[in-house]
Amino acid sequence: MAEIEDRWLSVDEIGKYLGVSSDTVYRWIDKHVMPAHRMGRLWKFKKDEVDEWVKAGGAADKTRQDQAE
């Protein structure tokens, strides 16, 4: 069961997990703020890395900046 929890997540899956659109995820990737890993043509995410990024305020800070632009 732990193996399933530790799997790589897609853009759609991480967006659903965070409650944001895929466009928002791609915007965070483009700004090099979100912990993402390129695998061929696809972006993949580790849930624990994204959780730490969110806890550190990464998502909140960038969302405020995006709204201000």
Over residues 10-63, the pLDDT tens digits come to 999 999 999 999 999 999 999 989 999 999 999 999 999 999 999 999 887 544
Domain boundary assignment for the chain = 9-59
- pLDDT at residue 62, as a whole number: 46
- pLDDT at residue 2, as a whole number: 56
Place of tokens 């994204």: 50
With bands split at pLDDT 50, 70 and 90, how would you rate the model's confidence at 67? low
Name residue 37's beta-bridge partners. 44
Cβ–Cβ < 8 Å for 36, 43: yes
With bands split at pLDDT 50, 70 and 90, how would you rate the model's confidence at 8? very high
User: How many Å apart are CA 19 and CA 30, to the nearest integer?
Assistant: 19
Burial 51-69 (b: 16+ CB within 10 A, else e): eebeeeebbeebeeeeeee
- pLDDT at residue 43, as a whole number: 97
